[in-house]
Amino acid sequence: MSEFLQQLLNGLSLGAIYALIALGYTMVYGVLRFINFAHSDVFMVGAFIGYYMGKLVPEGTLWGGLAVLGVAMLGCALLGMTIERLAYRRLRSAPTLNVLITAIGVSLLLEYTGQVFFGAAPRNFPSIFPVRNFQLGGIIVGSNQLIVIAVSVVLMVVLQLIVYRTRIGTAMRAVSLNPKAAVLMGVNNDVVISFTFGLGSALAAAGGILYALNYPSIDPLMGVMPGLKAFVAAILGGIGNIPGAALGGLILGTVETFVSGSQWSTYKDAIAFAILIIILLFRPAGLLGRFTVEKV
Amino acid sequence: MTKALRSLLLPVLATAAFTGAACAQETIKVGEFASLTGKEAAFGQSSHKGTLLAVEELNATGGILGRQVELITEDNQSKQGESATIVKKLISRDKIIALLGEVASGRSLEAAPIAQNYKVPMISPSSTNPRVTEMGNYIFRVCFIDPFQGTAMAKFAKDSLHLKKVALLTSVSSPYSVGLAKYFKETFAAIGGEIAIEQKYSEGDKDFKAQLTAIKAAGVDGIFVPGYYTEAALISKQARELELNFPIFGGDGWEAPQLIEIGGKAMEGTYYSTHYSPENSSPAVQSFVKKFRARFAGETPDAMAALGYDSAMVLADAIRRAGTTDGPKLRAALAGTRNYEGVTGRTTMDPHRNATKAAVVITVKDGQFKFVESIAP
């Protein structure tokens, strides 16, 4: 029983990170109807900002950790907005495929520029938050796992409040529903889309730092696998749907952990993706997604 | 970027080398492929520094057969598939007479069939998987092989660490890890130990908590991790987070300063087997350590550096004895290597072109690598 609970905890903390990255994919899709493949590399840049910032603050303090988290989120928000301004904005009226290819290009650009600037060798991520272990019944709860879950929950609640309780959130939903009508109603689409990219990238940065905290070896290609998983999580939950992305991330993280801990650990990715295929066979729009008919 | 830069510079350098060499005698071109960047960069860098030191030393003392040695090094970025490409390039374009490399067995296995095919002698400094030299009679190595290393660690675990129930955590995507795990398991079971649980991971994985939780539930008193240093450090770290405070141990894939950098305090009380220890007081080792430190800003050479050095020196010795750089003759001379005194001990090529050498066990204590014991073959 304690093994089951321990695995569940491991799975939830991994899933919470997937969920944070998945939110970025889903929000951009919700507003622009395209998959921002560069998202997983913004995640990587977030971890690297954390790495350099982590050297400036004293190790193992709560305020230092939060400061690093804040700076990385801000830095990546700017990066996300810059990418949108330089690469995607001109293609707003172009076919989705063109934007998709551009996104892959931006992704490769970030990865290999990263290799030039940061070097290809893995680096050790500093432990920026205090590290303690807690005994809870038979299971061991690491402070990093708690931080991952706590930060993720807080960020998701904040995101939900922004989207449903603020003017800019209302504008985001309006653009998502019908961009042309939103313009006619006086919404500045450029600002809204820019904001969406900033918000999504900030969440990716948070995901990057939390990931690096738990698995403290970072390199420029570190975003590829988690990015892919988060993308799957976003589809699993129903792309464009915010609670769906969170749910998808948690399911994927938990399944992956349970498979890893069993005899079939080598098949963990295969099983995770098989689940995606099965769910999409029965619910093509994802778990919480709504099926919309595309008008031609 | 480096690659692009190199491709731009290479023609220029090649012309320069050619015009330079035209006046003197033609240089002896030796190719080296190494993981200079990427996940196992620490291996490639160390091994390359050792090889470079050997080549510089050879050239400073008049070269081999009165000719200077030109070392042409290519980087495979620690990636699968890359070694084959660069080795083909080294052989067909640079016309190398012998090939030195790699540390990782998986990447040596990629290059070996190509070297064999073109009849270019290849010496792997530190690939320990037995299959590497089985690829053909042109493939050699200057280190011990995994059946010995696995046996040595099994005996060490049983006799010195007094472990009875051990877990195995193997990387399924690395031939090195799979092979070493197999030989460890066979011996450990044969001498009365028990392998309570076997867990697996793939290269590049970062989350091992699930496997470690399953291992914890199995109630073992040690974990054997026959992988490479990045994963070994992360595994140890996550194991300590789950309060698994027993010995974790592995093979020579652990040998890199990054092990302690990434693993930190979690590495205390871990052990690994390797090829040499810089603490060895023999004059050969001490003079090598001194030369290496002088050349590379005070860095202490690890086993990969020592083997990289020995691989180049064994090649030089064979060229001298052969009196030529002609492939088949050089191959015969290499196969005839007997009692060559190197930094990592005496090298004698057995009929399967492997060297038989002693292993040493290293532990981490107070953030430093410390010699524990030496295990004779």
Q: What letter would DSSP give residue B256? A: S
Say yes or no: B202 contacts chain A, CB-CB below 8 A: yes
Under the banding of pLDDT at 50, 70 and 90, the label for residue B24 is: low
In this prediction, residues B138-142 reach a mean pLDDT of 90
Half-sphere exposure of B290 (CA within 13 A, CB side): 7
The answer to whether the Cβ–Cβ distance between A121 and B209 falls below 8 Å is no
Distance, CA of A155 to CA of A19 (rounded, Å): 11
Owner of token pair 């109630």: B219
Asked if residues B27 and B69 have their Cβ atoms less than 8 Å apart, the reply is: yes
Chain B residue with CA closest to A132: the answer is B241
* Distance (Å) of CA A141 to CA A110, B240, B264: 35, 12, 20
**Residue that wins the pLDDT comparison between A202 and B202:** A202
Quick check: helix, strand or coil at residue B123? Answer: strand
Chain A residue with CA closest to B244: the answer is A140
The answer to whether the Cβ–Cβ distance between A119 and B37 falls below 8 Å is yes
Distance, CA of A284 to CA of B163 (rounded, Å): 53
Residues 235-254 of chain B with CB under 8 A from chain A are 237, 241-243
| CB < 8 Å to B35, chain A | none
pLDDT of B7: 53
Burial class (CB in 10 A: 0-12, 13-18, 19+), A83: buried
**Residue that wins the pLDDT comparison between B157 and B39:** B157
In this prediction, residues B283-309 reach a mean pLDDT of 88
Q: Report the amino acid identity of residue B239.
A: A
Beta bridge partners of B171: B201
Q: How many degrees, rounded to 5, is the angle at CA B122 between CA B117 and CA B126?
A: 135
- Closest approach of A93 to chain B, Cα-based (Å): 34
Under the banding of pLDDT at 50, 70 and 90, the label for residue B224 is: very high
Q: Select from A1, A4, A18, A215 the residue whose CB has the most chain B CBs within 10 Å, as the one to mutate to test that interface.
A: A215
Rounded to two decimals, the pTM is: 0.80
Whether residue B16 has pLDDT greater than 70:
no
Say yes or no: B346 contacts chain A, CB-CB below 8 A: no
- Closest approach of B317 to chain A, Cα-based (Å): 34
How much is the mean pLDDT over chain B? Answer: 85
Q: What letter would DSSP give residue B267? A: G
Query: Could you tell me which residues come within 8 angstroms of residue B326 by beta carbon, excluding any fewer than 6 positions away?
Result: none
pLDDT of B3: 53
The answer to whether the Cβ–Cβ distance between B211 and A122 falls below 8 Å is no
| CB < 8 Å to B235, chain A | none
Closest listed residue to residue A25, CA positions, set A15, A14, A36: A36
Asked if residues A190 and A89 have their Cβ atoms less than 8 Å apart, the reply is: yes
| CB < 8 Å to A208, chain B | none
In this prediction, residues B332-345 reach a mean pLDDT of 84
Say yes or no: B233 contacts chain A, CB-CB below 8 A: yes
**Both tokens assigned to A285:** 């729009």
Whether residue B17 has pLDDT greater than 50:
no
Say yes or no: B265 contacts chain A, CB-CB below 8 A: no
Half-sphere exposure of B67 (CA within 13 A, CB side): 18
Whether residue B8 has pLDDT greater than 70:
no
pLDDT of A119: 77
The answer to whether the Cβ–Cβ distance between A124 and B202 falls below 8 Å is no
Q: What letter would DSSP give residue B264? A: G
**Both tokens assigned to A64:** 């230092």
pLDDT of A265: 78
The answer to whether the Cβ–Cβ distance between B77 and A116 falls below 8 Å is no
One DSSP character per residue, A83-137 reads HIIIIIGGGTTS-HHHHHHHHHHHHHHHHHHHHHHH-SS-EEPP--S---EEEET
- The beta-carbon contacts of B326-335 under 8 Å, at least 24 apart in sequence, are B327/B97, B327/B119, B327/B120, B327/B121, B327/B138, B328/B119, B330/B97, B330/B98, B330/B121, B331/B119, B331/B121, B331/B137, B331/B138, B334/B121, B334/B123, B334/B140, B335/B137, B335/B140
Chain A residue with CA closest to B35: the answer is A121
ipTM value, please give it: 0.79
In this prediction, residues B2-25 reach a mean pLDDT of 49
Q: Report the amino acid identity of residue A11.
A: G
**Residue that wins the pLDDT comparison between A108 and B279:** A108
Burial class (CB in 10 A: 0-12, 13-18, 19+), A3: middle
Query: Could you tell me which residues come within 8 angstroms of residue B186 by beta carbon, excluding any fewer than 6 positions away?
Result: B150, B154
Distance, CA of B45 to CA of B51 (rounded, Å): 10
CB atoms within 10 A of CB A274: 12
Partner residue opposite A261 with nearest CB, options B210, B233, B243: B210
Chain A residue with CA closest to B243: the answer is A140
**Both tokens assigned to B95:** 């016309």
Residue-wise pLDDT for B146-181, tens only, equals: 888 888 899 898 888 888 899 999 988 888 898 889
Under the banding of pLDDT at 50, 70 and 90, the label for residue B2 is: low
Residue-wise pLDDT for A215-269, tens only, equals: 888 888 889 889 988 988 988 888 888 888 889 999 999 988 888 888 777 788 8
Q: Report, as ranges of residue numbers, the positions in chain A whose pLDDT lies below 50.
A: 295
